[in-house]
């Protein structure tokens, strides 16, 4: 799945980069994703499963989305910082009706240890709001597992950008497109023994039988959860 409008930069990302810069943020700090299409994904498996087994591909990620609900157009900005679930993933979210003031949700931090999720929020936060932020993160993870596209901005060098910066305005940006594909999970070496490996996903694959025939082996989870979890990783192609 590729989010956004084809393989090029999406207008929604351009719009949010401008908003983010006007608010005092630096849009060149991270990678940008348009996850609007992900809002239509219904099967994200269990939230706990997805958050437990996936990790962000970069240390700083910005995900923007736009969709319809109850006849109204909503937009959202999801920020996901850090890339090691065992040390902690930080997620923040802003959601609002198009053209109106956006609501900022408290930041949530979750860690994954021994196959279990430990989460907390910076402020008092309703469970339904926590689940909504967690679901957006999970939807993004599911899209990453199918392959997607990210964009990274950098300030365009030149007289125009220099003049805009001197006036306290937003400079011109140039963009680099990055293709992201899921990488095969690697199983830890067991030193020649048959000891159970850490819990990990085994992808579906074709198995060749002794009689020369082949059969399809369904994807499944194997290993010992007590020895930890192997997270999904990604290949990044510029």
Closest CA to 142 of 43, 220, 62, 76: 43
Closest CA to 37 of 70, 14, 12, 72: 12
> Is 184 within 8 Å of 209 (Cβ atoms)?
no
Q: What own/partner pairs with CB < 8 Å and gap ≥ 24 does 25-28 have?
A: 27/62, 27/153, 27/173, 28/152, 28/153, 28/154, 28/155, 28/173
Per-residue pLDDT, 1 = 26
Q: Where are the domains of the chain?
A: 11-182
Both structure tokens of 183: 């990488």
Q: Is 175 in a helix, a strand, or coil? A: strand
Per-residue pLDDT, 93 = 93
Q: Looking at the predicted structure, is the pLDDT value of residue 81 above 70?
A: yes
Min mean pLDDT across 2-6, 49-53, 65-69, 156-160 is at: 2-6
Both structure tokens of 175: 């963009």
Q: Looking at the predicted structure, is the pLDDT value of residue 43 above 70?
A: no
Vertex 210, ends 209 and 215: CA angle to 5°?
A: 10
Q: State how far the Cα of 185 lies from the Cα of 232, in Å rounded to an integer.
A: 6
Mean pLDDT taken over the chain: 75
| Residues facing 110 on adjacent strands | 89, 119
- Give the model confidence (pLDDT) of 14-39 as tens digits: 888 988 888 888 898 999 999 988 77
Pairing of the two strands 148-155 and 173-183: antiparallel
User: With bands split at pLDDT 50, 70 and 90, how would you rate the model's confidence at 187?
Assistant: very low
């Amino acid at each position: 799945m590729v989010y956004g409008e084809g393989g090029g930069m999406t207008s929604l990302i351009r719009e949010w980069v401008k908003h983010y810069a006007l608010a005092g943020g630096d849009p060149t700090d991270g990678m940008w994703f348009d996850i609007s299409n992900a809002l239509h994904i219904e099967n994200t498996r269990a939230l706990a499963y997805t958050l437990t087994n996936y990790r962000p591909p970069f240390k700083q990620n910005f995900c923007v989305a736009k969709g319809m609900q109850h006849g109204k157009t909503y937009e959202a900005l999801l920020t996901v910082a850090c890339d090691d679930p065992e040390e902690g993933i930080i997620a923040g979210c802003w959601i609002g009706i198009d053209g109106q003031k956006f609501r900022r949700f408290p930041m949530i931090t979750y860690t994954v240890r021994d196959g279990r999720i430990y989460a907390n929020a910076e402020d008092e936060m309703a469970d339904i709001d926590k689940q909504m932020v967690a679901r957006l993160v999970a939807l993004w993870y599911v899209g990453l597992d199918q392959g997607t596209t990210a964009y990274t901005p950098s300030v365009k060098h030149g007289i125009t950008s220099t003049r805009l910066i001197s006036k306290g305005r937003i400079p011109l940006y140039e963009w680099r497109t990055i293709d992201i594909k899921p990488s095969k999970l690697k199983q830890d070496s067991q030193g020649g023994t048959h000891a159970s490996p850490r819990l990990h996903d085994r992808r579906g694959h074709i198995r060749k039988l002794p009689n020369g025939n082949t059969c399809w082996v369904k994807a499944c989870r194997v290993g010992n959860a007590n020895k930890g979890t192997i997270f999904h990783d990604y290949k990044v192609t510029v």
